[in-house]
Amino acid sequence: MDVRYYPTHRLRDLRELIRRSAEEFTDRTAFSELDPAGDVRSYSFTQLADDVAALGTALLEQGVSGRHVALVGESCYSYVVSYLAVATIGAVIVPLDRELTVEELAHLADKSDADLLLYGPSQADDVPTLMASCPGLTAAIALDLYGADSGPDPSVPRLLQRGRDVLARGDTAYASVSIDPDAVSAILFTSGTTGANKGVMLTQRNITAVIHGAYSIHRLRPVSLSVLPINHSYEFNLHVLGSIFGGLTLCFNDSVKHVRENLDRFHPEMTLMVPMIVEALHHNIWHEAEKNHLATHLRYGLWLSNALRRVGIDLRRYYFKPVIDSLGGKLNLIVCGGAPLRPEVVKGMSDLGVEVYNGYGITECSPLISSNCALANIPGSVGIPIPCVRIRIDSPDADGNGEIQVKGDNVMVGYYKDPEATALSFTPDGWFKTGDLGHLGRRHALFITGRQKNLIILPNGKNVQPEELEEHLLSSIEYVKEVVVHASKDGAGVEHIVATAFLDTTFVQVVGPDEAAARFRADVARHNRKLAGYKQIHHALVRDCEFTKTSTKKIKRTESLGAMS
């Protein structure tokens, strides 16, 4: 493969990650966040190492080693310290999505055999109900670093002080804990976009493999903004732990409503996002240009800038300074994952001076598998594989598309207490079956074409990948905000391809609901003329609300299609 990776250090475990960062980056700011008063609080790499050791010492004293610990809360420094303290004392961390209902949280805590709960301020009122609903939970600890510390449960600040006192007396219990990099260290529940949640078991070898992989293909910027849910492997393993590894300052966004405000406050040079957020940024840039009658001026600027770039003159940051200023003034890199990102959005952001590198991963692979990067940026692909990963395409069709299968140090141990699902997820020769469809292109770059479970198999034996049709509709019909293509049988049992869309609300208000639906049907009919007969969409439907999504903004196809049936 014609790729040269950046040389980087390979970690043994998360304890080495903490020690190494404290030694190398000392008093440099590791994390910045807003306290309840709106003031910025910052924490150094040295303080991070000290706090993890103190909390780990206190948790050891309470007998937490070997137990399963559920963690649910906001993105914050206390969350990071708690996760790392649990992971480095031989306990198993179970990060849960704070957007779940109490019933859902109780179900997953029970499913993971968690007996200790660490919770953030926004969950405090629900803790009594949660504990009553999950008898396995025998104790709870409050994460809040800034609260009054007057609640009924022990708090992280109290435990930190207790741990410091014990360490000051010469206690070495925490430093003496032996970490097995191949033991289960975390159980992460999949988002359930295509079925029930499953508990993915990851080891510290898995997690450190993707940190190494990320730094083998990326050179990241000194200051980054965290906007995605911290419980997800994409955000925590790559962004949080990756920032610790590289000595970055990671700034926590306190609310999705405050992203623009926090871009101005922290001035990040990079961030990690999912496609829906990147597409919204790109859309808003053009929406503002149209609203201010500057769209023609912006198009001319892009034409001139691109012409100059072709002869080696790059003035993007100068020509489009107002756009960059609206993103905090320094943003120049977005690493995007969670789903393929439309190439025109990648090019559109790059033309404005913000590079977007789309990657690919799934929770079962810790999650990183491949990514575009400065070393190899292949339009339309999700990039080159990270060094520890091998990729193969199973049973490719005439176009080279087949199931993407993976082998490497990043691949999970299996699903917790689900040997049947684990067995079904691996081939007899040990390759993990991702369930995604794609092919390999030049420089071994991976192209995603669909999801095996979403594949529409027509009575004539033809296969239709709904994601392909969805991408065409989204890119060619500007007022379509979300669309799901699926199969539906009519009264006679004949299967048809259906596109159900949620349209831009301003567009619907201007033309009216009936006219909007009529235009969508007409535009789908126009779109059909570009498609092979078997791929054509038979019915175009409009819905009046957004599709149900996961906390990383992926549409829950199973739930959404169930609601439409």
pLDDT at 493 over 90: no
pLDDT score for 565: 46
Confidence of residue 58 (pLDDT cuts 50, 70, 90): very high
d(CA 343, CA 351): 12
Per-residue pLDDT reduced to its tens digit, 419-470: 999 999 999 999 999 999 999 998 899 999 888 878 786 766 566 878 889 8
Q: Could you list the residue range(s) of the whole structural domain that residue 516 is in?
A: 455-564
Clarify whether residues 349 and 485 are in a common domain: no
Per-residue pLDDT reduced to its tens digit, 81-122: 999 999 999 999 999 999 899 999 999 999 999 999 999 999
Is the pTM for the entire model greater than 0.75? yes
In a domain, 185, yes or no: no
Clarify whether residues 377 and 491 are in a common domain: no
In a domain, 2, yes or no: no
Clarify whether residues 461 and 445 are in a common domain: no
In a domain, 209, yes or no: no
d(CA 240, CA 262): 18
Taking the CA atoms of 132, 135, 137 and 140 in sequence, report the sign of the dihedral they define. Answer: positive
Clarify whether residues 86 and 156 are in a common domain: yes
Tell me the average pLDDT across 531-538.
84
Last residue of a domain, one of 451, 473, 492: 451
Clarify whether residues 403 and 496 are in a common domain: no
Structure tokens, 405? 């299968």
Domain CATH code at residue 392: 3.40.50.12780
In a domain, 202, yes or no: no
Clarify whether residues 293 and 433 are in a common domain: yes
Per-residue pLDDT reduced to its tens digit, 287-308: 999 999 999 999 999 999 999 9
Clarify whether residues 404 and 295 are in a common domain: yes
Clarify whether residues 43 and 87 are in a common domain: yes
Clarify whether residues 328 and 447 are in a common domain: yes
In a domain, 9, yes or no: no
Last residue of a domain, one of 433, 451, 469: 451
Clarify whether residues 278 and 361 are in a common domain: yes
Q: If residue 272 lies in a helix (H) or strand (E), which one and from where to where?
A: strand 270-273
Distances (CA, A) of 212 to 8, 200, 372, 373, 409: 7, 20, 16, 15, 11
Structure tokens, 526? 């126009």
Domain CATH code at residue 496: 3.30.300.30
Q: Could you tell me what percent of the chain has a pLDDT over 90?
A: 78
pLDDT score for 153: 87
pLDDT at 400 over 50: yes
pLDDT score for 462: 67
In a domain, 201, yes or no: no
Tell me the average pLDDT across 140-147.
92
In a domain, 1, yes or no: no
pLDDT score for 496: 83
Last residue of a domain, one of 246, 266, 286: 266
pLDDT score for 492: 62
pLDDT at 1 over 60: no
Strands 116-119 and 139-142, bridge-based pairing: parallel
d(CA 398, CA 424): 26
Taking the CA atoms of 366, 370, 372 and 375 in sequence, report the sign of the dihedral they define. Answer: positive
Per-residue pLDDT reduced to its tens digit, 331-343: 999 999 987 788 9
Mean pLDDT of the chain: 92
Q: Count up the domains in the chain and report the number.
A: 3
In a domain, 192, yes or no: no
Clarify whether residues 475 and 353 are in a common domain: no
Clarify whether residues 300 and 423 are in a common domain: yes
